[in-house]
Amino acid sequence: MAKNPYLNQNSVTVLISQSLWNGKVGAKIREKFAAPIVGLHDCESVFTLLPIHANYFPSAAKVSRNILIVSSSFKTQTTLVKNKYTENQNIYTIQGKNQELLLNQLQNSSKEIMNTFYNSEINLILTKNKINTKLQKQIKKQFSIDIQVPTDYQKALQGENFLWLRKEIGSGYNNLLIYTASFSALYNKNALVTNSLFIRNQVSKKYVLGKTDGSYMITEQAYYPSFHTTEIQNNLAYEMRGNWEFHKDFMNGPYLNFAIRDNKLKRFIIIDGFAFNPIHSKKDLLFEMEAVIKSTKIL
């Protein structure tokens, strides 16, 4: 956590009047920007909102990386200004003549604003990370990809077409699994999400074993994962999020899984990040792994 709360990861400073914040406009902002993260049972939100009264903008808040200004105005518009008070800063201003127009602007602009804030935070992590060059070279050789693995990740297990990286965090671990799958493994008569789950469970059963005899990691069966199409470094990718648990054991936690399409070699590079930390917040752990995965370039 930063000493200045406005500099915390994934925080958004909201400059808004009290009447707007306490009404439908504020409710819409919270609905869009403070929605629970998929795959987390603890109901942590995507962004932490820090509302400030429109007439009060302290210097500590001006250095926020993500600022959202919402105000009544004769104009109805959404504008973006970059790096006004500091580097890596995005300031969005939403204006409208009345509450209805402000709500429309929020509805129409929120996805773009959230993507800008989110991707900016991802890129900031990557610029701060020191790279484990030894692991980076090994991964290039084994998988023909370039990925920015931080120095605090170490090799936990290696197999044919498989690599497990692990970072120790106090009472738990961040884990990254790298493996591949053919086009036909994902593209067949079954749904993409069904195939993705099957592949994940197959790999986990083989490599991610528990302490209890016969125990291994599986995707949580009580909840269906979220699944959608995205893009990583200009390559099509499928993103899956949910929870993992252990067959014949009691460990569990969240995971994120990206299958990145490699058209050159007719395969998918699959990178699976799963966190285990019974005590601490999982939000930042997942976000760090997401940043690492999104640095992946197919060579």
Question: Could you read off the pLDDT of 20-71 as tens digits, one per residue?
Answer: 999 999 999 999 999 887 767 667 788 999 999 988 888 999 999 999 999 9
Average predicted confidence (pLDDT) for the chain: 92
* Residues 171 and 278 sit within 8 Å (Cβ to Cβ): yes
Is residue 1 scored above 70 in pLDDT?
no
pLDDT score at 2: 62
* More confident call, 285 vs 177: 177
Where is 114: in which H helix or E strand? helix 99-128
Tokens 């470094």 sit at which residue?
233
How far is Cα 253 from Cα 276, in angstroms, rounded to an integer? 6
Q: Are strands 48-53 and 11-16 parallel, antiparallel or unpaired?
A: parallel
CB 219 within 8 A of CB 195: no
Q: What is the pLDDT of residue 39?
A: 67
Q: Which tokens is 126 given?
A: 């990557």
Q: Say yes or no to pLDDT of 17 above 80.
A: yes
Report the distance separating Cα 96 and Cα 45, nearest Å.
Answer: 27
Predicted pLDDT of residue 252: 85
Q: What is the pLDDT of residue 206?
A: 94
Measured CA to CA, the distance from residue 288 to residue 269 in angstroms comes to 19
What is the DSSP code (8-state) at residue 265? Answer: T
Q: How far is the C-alpha of 63 from the C-alpha of 7, rounded, in Å?
A: 7
Q: What percent of the chain has pLDDT over 90?
A: 74
282 Rama sector, left if φ>0, alpha if ψ -120 to 50, beta otherwise:
alpha
pLDDT for res 63 = 93
pLDDT over 70 percentage in the chain: 98
pLDDT for 42 equals 67
Phi then psi dihedrals of residue 198, to 5 deg? -60, -45
Res 212 pLDDT > 80: yes
270, two tokens: 């699959």
The answer to whether the beta carbons of residues 61 and 13 sit under 8 Å apart is yes
pLDDT digits (tens, 9 = 90+) for 88-143: 999 999 999 999 999 999 999 999 999 999 999 999 999 888 999 999 999 999 99
Exposure class string for 234-259: b at 16+ Cβ within 10 A, else e: ebebbbbbbbbebeebeeebbbbbbb
Span 160-172, average pLDDT: 90
Do 253 and 233 touch, CB atoms closer than 8 A? Answer: no
- Helix 99-128 / helix 24-33 crossing angle, nearest 10 deg: 30
pLDDT at residue 296, as a whole number: 97
CA distance 32 to 114: 8
Q: Which of 271, 273, 279, 265 is nearest to 296 (CA)?
A: 271
Phi then psi for 281, rounded to 5 degrees? -60, 140
The CA-based angle 109-112-116, given to 5 degrees, is 135
Tokens in use for 2? 């930063």
Among residues 92, 129, 115, 127, which one has the least CA distance to residue 46? 115
